[in-house]
Structure 1
C-alpha cells in the first residue's frame, strides 16, 4: 500500500448538499471514520445524517475507525457518493418511545374501565394477570434499552419513530388493551388453572430466555464499538435469532392467557416483521464469518423458518 495521498471525487446522492467539496484528499491509511468526519465538518451536517457509498458499485462505506481508505478499494480519482439521510433520532430514543405506549395505555384502560365500558364490575383475575404480564414485558424492554442493548447504528431517520410507534402504541397498546379489559372479553371469565398456569410458566421461561440472548449479544460488542461476533449460548444452537423465538413464545403465552384475537393479530404482525430480519441476520453471519459460523437451517422458529 502506497503512503501517497489519494484524491477522491465527491458527489451528492439525491438532493444537493451545501458546502460539500467536489474533491477530497486523504491518505490511503486514513480511516473511513476520518472521511465521514471531514465531510460532515465541511458540509456542516451531523455525521449521522451522512451515508457514503462507492461510485463504482454503490457499496456502502462504513463509518469505522477499523476500516482504512485502502481497504475500501478507493484509489486515486475514485468517485464517492454522499447522501443526506435527513433528520435523525437515536435508536435508544426510538425504543424508549415505542415501548412507552403500552406501558401507559394498559394501566390507563384497566383503571378507567368504569368510564370506558360503562360497567361497575371489577376487573377479573385474568384481566389483572394480563395487565401484569403485558406491563412487565414492556417494562423489561425499557430496562434492556437503557442498560443492556448496544446498537450497531447510532440513529435512524426521525420519521421512523412515528411508523415504528404505530406497531406498539396501536396494536400492542390501544387495540390490545381495549379488547382485553372489557366486560365481554374472554379474560372476564373465570380462569382455568390447567391452561393459565402452564401459560404463565411459558411466559416466565421465554422472558428469561429473551433476556439471556440480549445479554449474549451485548457482550459481543464493547461500549461505543460496532464490531460483530458469533453469538453462542442458550438458543443460538437452534436458530439464528433466539431472541425473536423467545419474544414470539412470550406473546403466545399472553395469547393463551387472554384468548384475545387482538393478541393473535399482534403476534402475526410481529412474526411477519421479525422473520425477514432473522433471515437477513443468517445471511449476514454466513457472509461475515465464512468457515467459522455454523450455518443454521432455521433462522427464527425450529421446523418452520
Structure 2
C-alpha cells in the first residue's frame, strides 16, 4: 500500500514537472516574441506606403429662380466647388445674354443680402443642388467712374464761372469791377481740393471693383455739380463782397484749409496700405507723421480733415452757399463715420475704444 502511494506520488511529481517545464517554455516563447516585436517596432517601417489619392471633383447644379415670381429661369450645371458667384454670373449671362454680369444680383433667399462676387459656391452650398434667386439690378457703373465724374464736374464748372464767360455775368460790369484777392485764392483752394481727390482716386484709393446703380451716379453728380454752380456763381460774381474781417480772416482760413487738405491726403495714404483681411488685421496706428496723430482721437480722421477743409473754405469766402454745402456734407459724413466706427469695433480685435467717430470729444 505504501509502495502504491509512493508510485502515485512519483507520477504526480513527474506530471507536475512536465507541466512546469511546458509553462516555462511557453513563458520563454512569449518573452522572445515580445523582444522580437520590440525590435521590429524600433526599427521603423521598412518602406513608406504611398498614399492613394482620390481625384474626385464635386460639381454643383445651380438652379436660378426669379426673385419676384419664383419661377425657374435656367439651370447652370457642372459648377465646380472652387467656382465663385462671379463665375456663375458669367455662365448665367451666356444662358441669358440680355443680363450683363454687373446687373445680376443673386440671393440665397428672397429679401436676403446680395452675394458678393468673390464668395465660393462651396461656402454657400448645403447639397449638390444650390438655389439662387435672381434680381435685375438695372444699369450699373463702376465706382471709379462715379468718383471721377463727381470730382471732375466741380473742377471744370468752377473754372467756367471763374473765367467769367460772357453768358454768365454782364461783361461791362465784370470789366468795371476789380476782383478781390480772395476770389483768386478761393479758386486756387477749390481746384486744389478736387485735383487732390482725382489723383487719390487714380493712384491712392483702392477703389472697389464692384458696381453701383446708375441712378447713384446721377444723384451724386446733381448734388456736387449743382452746389458747385451755386457756390462759384456767388464767389465769382462782380458784386461779391469780401469777408468781414479782411485779410486776417482770409489768411487764417487759408492756412487751416491747406493743413486739412494735407492731413486728409496723408490719412488716405495710410488707409490705402491697410490689410483688412485675415486674423492679423488691425486698426491703423499713428506714425511719425503728425497728421496721423488724429487716430488717437477719432476713428475716421479723413472725414475730420474733410469737414475742416470745407469749414475753412466757408470762413475764407463767407458765403451762404458754401455754408449750406458744408452743413450737408458734415451731416452725411457724420453718418458714415458712426457706421464705420461701429464696424471697427466689431472687426478689429486690437481696436481700442476711441472717444469719438469723427469730431474729437463730441461726435
Query: TM-score, normalised to structure 2's length?
Result: 0.71
Q: How does 1:1-305 map to 2 (within 5 A)?
A: 4-14=58-68, 20-22=73-75, 24-44=77-97, 45-55=99-109, 58-64=112-118, 67-72=119-124, 74-112=126-164, 116-117=169-170, 118-119=173-174, 120-171=176-227, 173-187=228-242, 192-220=246-274, 230-233=283-286, 234=292, 235-289=294-348, 291-305=349-363
Give the secondary-structure state (helix, strand or coil) at the position aligned to 1:240. coil
Paired position in structure 2 for 1:225: none
In 2, are the aligned partners of 1:200 and 1:253 still within 8 Å (CA)?
yes
In 2, are the aligned partners of 1:8 and 1:24 still within 8 Å (CA)?
yes
1:25 is displaced (CA, Å) by 4.9
> Quick check: which one's helix share is greater?
2
1:165 is displaced (CA, Å) by 0.6
Change (3 A) 1:140 1:293: same
Which entry has the higher C-alpha Rg, 1 or 2? 2
1: distance between equivalents of 2:339 and 2:124?
A: 23
2: distance between equivalents of 1:267 and 1:236?
A: 23
1:298 is displaced (CA, Å) by 2.0
1: distance between equivalents of 2:124 and 2:345?
A: 20
**Residue correspondences, number:** 293
Give the unaligned 5+ runs of structure 2: 1-55, 287-291
1:180 is displaced (CA, Å) by 1.2
In 1, are the aligned partners of 2:282 and 2:351 still within 8 Å (CA)?
no
In 2, are the aligned partners of 1:199 and 1:254 still within 8 Å (CA)?
yes
Change (3 A) 1:13 1:277: farther
Change (3 A) 1:43 1:200: same
Decide which moves more: 101-110 or 23-32.
23-32
Q: State the superposition RMSD in angstroms.
A: 3.0
1:80 is displaced (CA, Å) by 1.7
2: distance between equivalents of 1:251 and 1:181?
A: 18
Change (3 A) 1:83 1:236: farther
Q: Which has the higher contact order (CA 8 A, sep 6+)?
A: 1
Paired position in structure 1 for 2:11: none
1: distance between equivalents of 2:223 and 2:361?
A: 27
Change (3 A) 1:56 1:239: same
Give the secondary-structure state (helix, strand or coil) at the position aligned to 2:105. strand
Query: TM-score, normalised to structure 1's length?
Result: 0.83
